[in-house]
Amino acid sequence: MAEAALAIDVEGLTKRFDGKVVVDRFGLQVRRGQIYGFLGPNGSGKTTTIRMLCGLLTPDGGRGTCLGFDILRESASIKREVGYMTQRFSLYEDLSIAENLDFIGRIYGLDHRRRRIDEALERLGLEKRRGQLAGLLSGGWKQRLALAASLLHDPKLLLLDEPTAGVDPGARREFWEHLHHLAHGGMTVLVSTHYMDEAERCHALAYIAYGKLLASGTAADVVAGAKLHTWAIEGEGLAAVAEALRGAPGADMVVPFGTRLHVSGTDDASLEASVARATAAAGLRATRIEPGLEDVFIHLMRSAPEPVTAARRAED
């Protein structure tokens, strides 16, 4: 892949805190104009990796570029071209929406600042609330304000750290419509999320667990690469069926999904035999289904090495 086509191209990224490895030889390639999903359990190193990519943390090892700039030597140049939306709302709650954006514009030394602020307010539907204090906004409106602030200086890369945590489904959908509009205009977006419906909206994904990259590619690539087989079981007494299947040959994962039970594993023959034994009673039905992203990510998380407590503390 040509270097000019890549917004992010890093390999061997490593970061330690108090001698404990939090990110372990991580590599990632993100094409320009992509929405790239970044997934993994809490404490897996996602936030630390994002901070290394945007120049806020210096890697202890590894190399690469972000927007064509060297992540080790040109972090200041990267910061000017990146918009970063943190997991927690980080603007001033005692300032209005417009005052917060004006403050951000002054930090960046933007020309035509008032025009840019007006355009940002209109683009994200904030114009009628411009005088409202940020601290009085709901989670969804705070999210819009944070996105407006991260876009005010026209960045080429947008880094979003769990931007929709605690936001209602309607606001999440509107937020993702904004992201796809930005990507259609050529902006690259790297977004960490725990929501599988959001992961499926991404052009490509990377799954990281405890500092290591476990899987990457399109959603279809990640599902196929897991080589996971899944059965859905329906009927009465599913709690007893689940108990019978836990630890059974081939049944690596037994997870309730609403009124069904998903049973997954990588040994197809053993799994099928165990499911057949557990569902022999009348009133139970087992159907082979295609595994979904959630099945795959639970499988990846459970198969990952145990985290190091100190490393998880450093990540949090």
Closest CA to 308 of 232, 189, 212, 187: 212
- The sign of the torsion formed by the CA atoms of 302, 306, 312, 313 equals positive
- CATH number at 34 reads 3.40.50.300
Based on the fold, state whether residues 14 and 150 are members of the same structural domain. yes
Based on the fold, state whether residues 193 and 251 are members of the same structural domain. no
Confidence band for 308, pLDDT divided at 50, 70 and 90: very low
Based on the fold, state whether residues 244 and 118 are members of the same structural domain. no
CB of 230 closer than 8 Å to CB of 287 = no
Assess whether pLDDT exceeds 70 at residue 17. yes
Residue 42: inside a domain, yes or no?
yes
| CA pair distance 138, 194, nearest whole angstrom | 21
Based on the fold, state whether residues 45 and 70 are members of the same structural domain. yes
Residue 54's pLDDT is: 87
Task: Tell me the per-residue pLDDT of 188-234, one tens digit each, with 9 for 90 and over.
Answer: 999 998 888 899 999 999 999 888 899 999 999 999 999 999 999 99
Residue 3's pLDDT is: 55
The overall average pLDDT reported for the chain is 90
Residue 310: inside a domain, yes or no?
no
- The sign of the torsion formed by the CA atoms of 268, 270, 275, 281 equals positive
CB of 33 closer than 8 Å to CB of 181 = no
Task: Tell me the per-residue pLDDT of 257-303, one tens digit each, with 9 for 90 and over.
Answer: 889 999 999 999 999 999 999 999 878 999 999 999 988 988 888 77
Residue 304: inside a domain, yes or no?
no
CB of 103 closer than 8 Å to CB of 110 = no
Based on the fold, state whether residues 181 and 77 are members of the same structural domain. yes
Number of domains within the chain: 2
Based on the fold, state whether residues 80 and 192 are members of the same structural domain. yes
Question: Which segment of 54-58, 116-120, 154-158, 199-203 scores lowest on mean pLDDT?
Answer: 54-58
Q: Number of H helices and number of E strands within the chain?
A: 12, 14
Residue 112: inside a domain, yes or no?
yes
Residue 223: inside a domain, yes or no?
no
Assess whether pLDDT exceeds 60 at residue 313. no
State pTM to two decimals. Answer: 0.86
| CA pair distance 295, 257, nearest whole angstrom | 10
- CATH number at 260 reads 3.30.70.100
Based on the fold, state whether residues 52 and 190 are members of the same structural domain. yes
Considering the chain, what percentage of its residues have pLDDT values greater than 90?
70
Final residue in a domain of this structure, among 180, 196, 218:
218
Residue 306's pLDDT is: 60
Residue 315: inside a domain, yes or no?
no
Residue 316: inside a domain, yes or no?
no
Based on the fold, state whether residues 158 and 195 are members of the same structural domain. yes
Q: Report the pLDDT averaged over residues 13-35.
A: 93
Q: In what order do the strands lie in the sheet containing 212-217?
A: 82-85, 157-161, 188-192, 35-39, 204-209, 212-217
Final residue in a domain of this structure, among 187, 218, 249:
218
Final residue in a domain of this structure, among 178, 195, 218:
218
Range of the domain at 195: 3-218
Residue 313: inside a domain, yes or no?
no
| CA pair distance 33, 77, nearest whole angstrom | 20
Based on the fold, state whether residues 38 and 187 are members of the same structural domain. yes
Confidence band for 2, pLDDT divided at 50, 70 and 90: low
Residue 316's pLDDT is: 42
Task: Tell me the per-residue pLDDT of 155-183, one tens digit each, with 9 for 90 and over.
Answer: 999 999 888 887 888 888 888 999 999 99
Based on the fold, state whether residues 35 and 179 are members of the same structural domain. yes
